[in-house]
Each structure stands twice: as C-alpha cells, then as structure tokens.
A and B are shown apart, each in its own frame.
Chain A
C-alpha cells in the first residue's frame, strides 16, 4: 500500500472522527453535561488497528484540531487537549497491543487495556491538571474523580471498544485497500443470469 494512500486514508478517518464527534455526541445519563460521549474514538481505533498506532494518533490530532476550529467545543483549548490526551492514550495502547499480537484476542485485549489506560491517565490528568485549571477546589477533587471522571471514562471507553469490536473485521479489507466496493460492480455482469 502506498504512502500517499496511507496519508489520504488517515485524513479521511480524521474527517470521519470529527464528524462523528460533532454530530453524534450526547451526554450520558447520570453524568454532568460537560462529560459527553462521542463516537469519535471509533475511526481512530480503526486507523490504529489497520495502519499502526501512529496513524491512530494522527486521526486523534486531526479530529481535535477540526473540533477546535468548528467552535463547538464548549471548553476551548482545554477541553480539546483533554480529549486529545484521552484519545491518544486509548488509541496508542490499543494499537500497540494489536501490533504485538495480531489476532482477535490481541484486538480485544487492546481495546480493553486501552479503556483502562485511558481511565487511569485521565484520572491523573484531571487530578493534577484539568480540574485545578477549571478552578475546582482541592477538597472537591477526589469526590469528582470517583463520582464522575472514572466511571465516565470507563463507560466511554467500553462503548467505543464495543462498537469497534463489532465491525472492525467487516471494514478491515477496505481500509487496507485489499477490497473496494467498485469490485462488486465490476464483477456484477458475469453473475447476471441473462448472460
């Protein structure tokens, strides 16, 4: 597969990730509204599985840069960088594990470990950087962490992991360029009964 094609595929995954994040984000029940679920992680995970962890990271960077430009981000640069840290952790750990063990088991472990790693990293990042940045007082940090941040990241990670696991195998051949939907069209005439 050519280098240019990798670049273009990564870019389009980035556009898809941005679009999914922009159009389909919804607050999860029971959580404060600034913690929103968005399916933007899914294209990044596809990229990380098919083209390697660095492609996944690039998808995350593009997604967040576009999101910042779109002006929909309620938290400006801070929210975008929080999302980038979370997404990058998820995608890199899942991608690295899948690269090391390239089968269904590796993919599932990668997704699971990615969710856990994201939760861990986001707890630390929120405790030391993001929540203090928002001006949350020190004695409120731990309750917010255990009450909102940790469960939210686990739920978010598992949902994205589930969707990715459900359909990665069905699009893998298309990402890798081994199959394309025009092939069906080219093959069609020979299968027609009247020929």
Chain B
C-alpha cells in the first residue's frame, strides 16, 4: 500500500535513463512535450514515435508497464477520435448512414490520437525512471534561478519532501478514523452526493486535528535543530552532470532541429 502510493509509478532500475541527472530529464521532458505540438506531418509523427519507443527501450522498462498508463485514457482517446472522424468537414471518403467520414477527419483523428499517446508516454517515462525524491531535488535546482521573482524554490521542495513522508501516515490515520466512526454507526457508502459530502466531516475533523499535532511536533523538532531554510545547506546527494547528460542535451537539440526542419521543409 505504502509503496504503491508513494513511489507511484517509479520503476527501480539502473538503465542509462535511470542514471541521467533528474534536471536533464525534467528539461528534456518539457522540451519534447512542447515540440510534440509542432509536429504536423506523417514523417514527423513516425520519427517522433520511433524516438519515443527507442527511449522506452533504453529505459529497460517492460512495455506492458509503460502502456498500463495508457489504458485509462482509452475512453477520451476514443471519443476525440470519433468526434474528429465524423465532424471534420472536407473531402468525403465514405458515408455511414447519417455520418460521413472525410479524409481531413481521418487525418486529424489519427494525428491527435498519436499525439496524445506520445504525450502520455513521455510524461510517464519521466516518473517511471526518476524517484520522487530525486525529482524534487531536480525541481528545486531548476527553480533556484527564479527565486528573484519570488518563487520559493527551497521551501517548495522542502514541503514536497515533508508531504511525501506524511502521505502513508495520513493514510493509516484515515483508515483508523473511518473504522472508529463506522463502529459508531457512521455511513460513508450510501446516500446522494450531498449526504456523501457531509459524511466527510466526521472523518476530516479528527484527521486534521491529529495532522496538526504532528505538524507541531515536526516544527518543534526542526527548530530544535536550527532549521533555517536553504541558505548554506549541505546535501547528502549532490547533483552533477556527467557525459551522458551532455549527450542527452545534444540529442534533444538534434531532435528539436529535426522536428522544426520537417515542419518547414
């Protein structure tokens, strides 16, 4: 239970993608997600699709694990495909009763579906190969330059870390409270929407009261150890770019250039 929620998708391993610096992976994912929307023709999608499959192979994650994430979007994928297929005006290919399929509709439906699938694979590749703690460290390092415009990078990362640590505790606490309330005759399962929302109150009040006691304890412990934010803090894990990271940046640049080239040539 604990593992499932916290590590979520993370798939431990030692592939080259696992070993890349988290900063590199975050930047790459964002760049790829943006340029995915610049792809506008068949060869672009083909190239990008092959590239994504190659990345999945490099990560040494079973394809079944990667595609598990896609199962949940099948519904929306199917709906948008049908909407595009039948409702785009253009050259008529064939007619099915009152519905007409146009060439433009088929094109649009297919390319939108491929784009969505690639988008999901790319973002899950990041969370599959990077542990939450490393991702948090990477985000903190990347957000640091934005301190000047008021983004509290260190505080956000610290809060993420604390939150990650407290999720299992809260889970255990909630189960205990729900059982205690059910023993007193509380009913969480039946009733309409309004009644179900109201039934949350007897869970939430004790949950928050005990959560804030833990917060008090943790805050006292931190202050007793003279916690004072990110200034001059030393780290157990230092992030460092290696040769693989520079190669990854080079590759990102090449793919970006390729996509832009295919769009305008």
A interface residues with partner B (beta carbon < 8 Å): 2, 4-5, 7-16, 18-19, 22-24, 28-29, 32-34, 39, 42-43, 46, 58, 61-62, 65-66, 68-72, 74-78, 134-137, 139-140, 155, 159, 162-163, 166-167, 170-171, 174-175, 177, 180-182
Contact = CB atoms under 8 A, between A and B. Distances in A.
Given A7-B158, A77-B123, A137-B84, A2 B200 contact: no
B259 interface: no
Q: Which 6 A-B pairs have the closest CB atoms?
A: A135-B112, A71-B9, A11-B162, A70-B8, A11-B159, A5-B219
A77 B33 contact: yes
A70 B5 contact: yes
A23 B174 contact: yes
A177 B166 contact: no
B218 interface: yes
Contacts of B139: 65
B197 A62 contact: no
Interface of B: 5-6, 8-10, 33, 69, 72-73, 75-76, 79-80, 83-84, 87-88, 108-109, 112-113, 115-116, 119-120, 123-124, 127-128, 132, 135, 139, 155-156, 158-164, 166-167, 170-171, 174, 193-194, 197-198, 200-201, 204-205, 207-216, 218-219, 222-223, 227
Contacts of B73: 74-75
Given A135-B84, A135-B115, A171 B209 contact: yes
22 contacts: A4-B219, A11-B158, A11-B163, A11-B166, A12-B214, A16-B170, A24-B200, A62-B159, A62-B160, A66-B132, A66-B164, A69-B135, A71-B127, A135-B113, A137-B84, A137-B88, A140-B83, A171-B204, A174-B208, A174-B209, A180-B213, A180-B216
A31 to B, nearest CB: 11
Given A4-B219, A8-B162, A62-B163, A68 B211 contact: no
Contacts of A155: 193
Given A2-B219, A16-B211, A181-B210, A163 B76 contact: no
Nearest to B164: A66
Contacts of B87: 137, 139-140
Contacts of B227: 4
B contact face: mostly helix, strand, loop, or mixed: helix
A65 B26 CA distance: 13
Contacts of A66: 132, 160, 163-164, 167
Given A23-B174, A39-B200, A71-B69, A134 B76 contact: yes
Contacts of A72: 8
Nearest to A162: B197
Contact of A28 (B6, B79, B193): B193
A167 B201 contact: yes
